[in-house]
Amino acid sequence: MKLGFIGLGGMGRPMVEHLLAAGHELVVWSRRPEAADPLLALGARRVSNPGELAAASEMVCTNVTGNADVVGLAGQILEGLAPQGVHIDFSTIAPSVARDIAVHYAACDRHFVDAPVSGGTAGAQAATLSIMWGGNAELAKRLDPIFSCLGKTIVRIGEAGAGQVAKACNQLIMVAAIEASAEAARLARAAGVDFARVRAAMLGGSAGSRVLDFFGGKMAEREFAAGVEARLHHKDFVMVMAEATRMGVPLLVGGMVMQQLDALMAAGWGTQDTSRLFGVLEKTAANPSLI
């Protein structure tokens, strides 16, 4: 297939590599031209703007940061995309924004599919992402050759916007589990016990999880280099809480985690890993007046 891809960061670049390896033709565009350079050697072709990219593609894929980025690109992509063309957005955005874009596309005889992913950069590199998508069910056969190159778990959640609802639920559980892991690490340390050993024991029991394994491992080793930058989880949580407020759904644990993420950002740790929530608890312990 002739595909366009916009967003060539830690997630997007390996996704493009997998699509190229599967034999698809790729045109790419990035706000930072140098981000595309390694992909050109693999056979991708660079274009000068999103509209040109869309005009050269059967389907366009985007993987960018947030609502404003996707909305800004959607207008340019729509100008170049042929009738019945498909825009697949792998970004994490608000469900309401995804629905609005889909309605606008449908009025122009184009398709918008929200397909946020979970699995981080490691999942993107290994092509084991979980892809949760929302859109017209009749698109499944057209989407499968793309999704099967990128992920291991592919689930259509429902109509447009439903994929983003699933991603909001994913982020709610995952970041809450990171906070719980940080609290366990803080409790172990306060008791004078080695959290690395506590974690090893818990991984074999009912508390074992991928979050405890990965993020808990970073806490045990005090290695806070970003897998996914904490600012992105903060951005996601702002959207989760806004959607919940709009619908009148109380998220009690989510509200507490939101405050911890706010404290993490205030400490200047937004470009570090979300396991830095452990540091927020340490700061609070050192200065109880912060509570």
pLDDT, tens digit, for every residue of 23-39? Answer: 999 999 998 889 999 99
Q: Which pLDDT band holds residue 288 (cuts at 50, 70, 90)? A: low
Question: Is the overall model pTM greater than 0.85, yes or no?
Answer: yes
3-state secondary structure of 59: strand
Comparing 189-203, 223-237, 275-289, the range with the smallest average pLDDT is 275-289
In the set 2, 152, 167, 235, the catalytic residue is: 167
pLDDT, tens digit, for every residue of 182-196? Answer: 999 999 999 999 999
Specify the CATH number for 2-159; select among 3.40.50.620, 3.30.70.260, 3.30.70.360, 3.40.50.720: 3.40.50.720
In this predicted structure, the answer to whether residue 243 has a pLDDT above a threshold of 60 is yes
In this predicted structure, the answer to whether residue 279 has a pLDDT above a threshold of 80 is yes
Q: Given the structure tokens 């990171």, which residue do they identify?
A: 178
Q: Is 167 a catalytic residue?
A: yes
Tokens of 195: 């959290």
Q: Which pLDDT band holds residue 85 (cuts at 50, 70, 90)? A: very high
At residue 191, φ and ψ (nearest 5 deg) are -85, 0
Q: Which pLDDT band holds residue 291 (cuts at 50, 70, 90)? A: very low
What is the per-residue pLDDT for 186?
97
Burial string for 240-258 (b: 16+ CB within 10 Å, else e) reads: bbebbeeeeeebeebeebb
CATH H-level, domain 166-290: superfamily:
N-(1-d-carboxylethyl)-l-norvaline Dehydrogenase; domain 2 (1.10.1040.10)
Instruction: Please classify residue 281 by burial: count the beta carbons closer than 10 Å to its beta carbon, then call 0-12 exposed, 13-18 middle and 19+ buried.
Output: buried
3-state secondary structure of 3: strand
Q: What number is the average pLDDT over the span 33-61?
A: 95
What is the per-residue pLDDT for 228?
84
Q: What number is the average pLDDT over the span 55-74?
A: 96
Q: What number is the average pLDDT over the span 273-278?
A: 97
In this predicted structure, the answer to whether residue 290 has a pLDDT above a threshold of 60 is no
Where are the CATH 1.10.1040.10 domain residues in the chain? 166-290
Would you say how long the chain is, in residues? 291
